Structure 1
Amino acid sequence: MSREQTQPNFILLNIGHAIHNADWNWQKVSSPFIRVHFVESGTARLIREDKTYDLKKNHLYLTPAYTTHGYRCEGHLSLYYLHIYEEQGHHSSLFDLLDVPVEMKADALTIQLIKRLARVHPERKLPHFDPWSYDNLPTLARNIARQHAAPLGYEMEAQGIIRQIISRFLVHATDKNLHIDKRILQSLHYIRTHLHKPISVDMLAENSFLTKDHFIRLFKKDMGCTPGKYINAQKLEKAQRIMMSRDIAIKDLAYSLGFENDAYFNRFFKKQTGENPGNYKKRVRLLAADNIPQ
């Protein structure tokens, strides 16, 4: 992976300390943000993709965004939790490009940094630990807006600490290229870095030197969905991210995502979400504004 392919920008969503007593049991959790857990004491299990990890004292555990997972706790557990949103811009996500370890031994500095982040951001502690109480777009919008409104020094410090923590896992990461056809990998990179332009399946197939039918079959085999569905999902996610973090006119948003006009974008957005973009933007911006610290 070349360094030009990704320039991660991390946003702190939540940080805090939790003590559980057989009450941290959830299934089929999948979120648009990264989770990091630091286990201080006790025992529990993390279940990911049919593999179970026994949580160990003084170890870190990382779960990338949109990774379906669960937790099982049958006794005492003391841990710190960290929720991170990765803004991608025109770059690919780190976790689209790399296979990152799930578990890492925490060094003394990392432990200090996690505790420091929790100490200076007490307002980021979760009021409830049920994932469905905070794992939703309005809450994500509020937390992103809160971080953008934070003093610059705190924001820079949070960015630095998060990078330090993520770097511990990246040292042992490997390229994901091994299991994906290089032509599909090239197409993925093109899609993620050209969401501001129109993207056609015909053009992707031509650039891959494949027929359209062959390209679609190969893409679906490697990615589990058609290229058209993948492109739509990427454009929709980026549209929602932009509306959560910026007060942008719908017309400008449509052009910034490669749509010919805002009417076409309105139809696309409503088909994907059941809600027109103007109403969605108004709703998430109001929810975010209500929770920006004064």
Structure 2
Amino acid sequence: MISPGLIDKVNIQVYNTAKCAVGQEWNYSNIISPFSRIYLITEGEGYILPDNNMIKLKPGYLYLVPSYTLCGYHCVEKLSQYYLHFSHSLPDGLKIFDQLAITQEVKAMPIDLHLFERLLEINPTLCLKHSDPNVYKKSSWKKNQMEHRPNNVQLETEGIIKQLFSRFINSDNAEVLQLQKQSFIKKSFEYISNHLYEEIRIDALANLACCSTDHYTRQFKKITGMRPMEFINRKRIEKAQELLITTTMSQKKISEETGFNSQQYYTRIFKKISDCSPEQYRKMGGLI
């Protein structure tokens, strides 16, 4: 759980936002994006499939697809929506979704429509040029940087995004997560984030938590749903996905930068987690 006050230090970067209507061509599978996406559905019917869980898209509801989530999209006939693509990071490099319990579907508040309309009003040039991930290339979203916008626009944009994002925070489990993660797992997350490019030993993580390796592994899986090495590999692949679409680094260099001891092992783990090769991911931009 994020410490009280630290949520104010979350760095927000908006990449795309607009209102659009799509049809049956909005039908994609096995897409992984390096940013998070929020949708406000205004008309029509469709589905998203984050991690193969089918969620029906309904008018008047907000939907969140966290960054690096394997997801599919399907429109039944027609679908009208507002969309927002953004990134978020904490000063220590941790990911928000490692520390917050979230839901992915919430009923929109009356003000949310006005928030999206205002977001588009002050950011009129951030619409997607293409919605097909096989066409929409990496350069399209990287150049939409907020740093070159007036300070008042940056501040208002970040405020709106935080309001919309706050709708998805699951307060029911917040207290339990705070106790568990503050006392046991937070140091592990920080260590993993800061040492991705190095060998990470499970016994070293257990020592940080002041417990045996077996106990640490059991508790880590209880909290995260993954064994420590599975979690580490997932974070390494997330970093590799980011480097693939934001740099021209070679696959060998990326495998080294993300802590894999061989390019062959890097490719195998990438395919297992991303359902495509690193080359395929770079070619399509990893986006929707």
Fold shared per TM-score above 0.5 = yes
1:202 counterpart residue number: 203
Instruction: Kindly state the Cα deviation for residue 83 of structure 1 after the two structures are TM-superposed.
Output: 0.4
2:24 counterpart residue number: 22
1:189 aligns with 2:190: no
Q: How many residue pairs align between the two structures?
A: 255
**Mapping of residues 71-220 of structure 1, within 5 Å:** 71-90=73-92, 92-134=94-136, 138-143=139-144, 146-170=145-169, 172=171, 174-175=173-174, 182=180, 188-194=185-191, 195-196=193-194, 200-212=201-213, 215=216, 219=220
Secondary structure in 1 matching 2:91: coil
Instruction: Kindly state the Cα deviation for residue 219 of structure 1 after the two structures are TM-superposed.
Output: 4.6
Instruction: Kindly state the Cα deviation for residue 218 of structure 1 after the two structures are TM-superposed.
Output: 6.0
The answer to whether the Cα contact below 8 Å between 2:240 and 2:258 also exists between their aligned partners in 1 is no
Matches of 1:47 and 1:221 in 2, distance apart? 24
Unaligned residue ranges in structure 1 (runs of 5+): 246-264, 275-294
| Cα-to-partner distance string for 1:168-190 (whole Å, 9 max, x where unaligned) | 22265634967xx95x8856421
Matches of 1:35 and 1:217 in 2, distance apart? 32
The answer to whether the Cα contact below 8 Å between 2:19 and 2:80 also exists between their aligned partners in 1 is yes
Unaligned residue ranges in structure 2 (runs of 5+): 247-255, 268-288
Matches of 2:24 and 2:100 in 1, distance apart? 33
Give me the TM-score of the superposition, normalised by structure 2: 0.70
In structure 1, what residue type is equivalent to 2:207? E
1:48 counterpart residue number: 50
Matches of 1:19 and 1:149 in 2, distance apart? 29
| C-alpha distance 267-119 of structure 1, shift in aligned 2 (>3 A) | closer
Secondary structure in 2 matching 1:49: helix
Instruction: Kindly state the Cα deviation for residue 59 of structure 1 after the two structures are TM-superposed.
Output: 1.3
Secondary structure in 1 matching 2:20: strand
Which shifted more, 20-29 or 190-199?
Answer: 190-199
Secondary structure in 1 matching 2:41: strand
**What fraction of aligned residue pairs are identical, expressed as a percent?**
30
Secondary structure in 1 matching 2:125: helix
| Cα-to-partner distance string for 1:247-268 (whole Å, 9 max, x where unaligned) | xxxxxxxxxxxxxxxxxx7695
| C-alpha distance 221-99 of structure 1, shift in aligned 2 (>3 A) | closer
Question: Cα RMSD over matched residues?
Answer: 4.0
Secondary structure in 2 matching 1:122: coil
Matches of 1:97 and 1:169 in 2, distance apart? 13
The answer to whether the Cα contact below 8 Å between 1:91 and 1:192 also exists between their aligned partners in 2 is no
Matches of 1:54 and 1:266 in 2, distance apart? 39
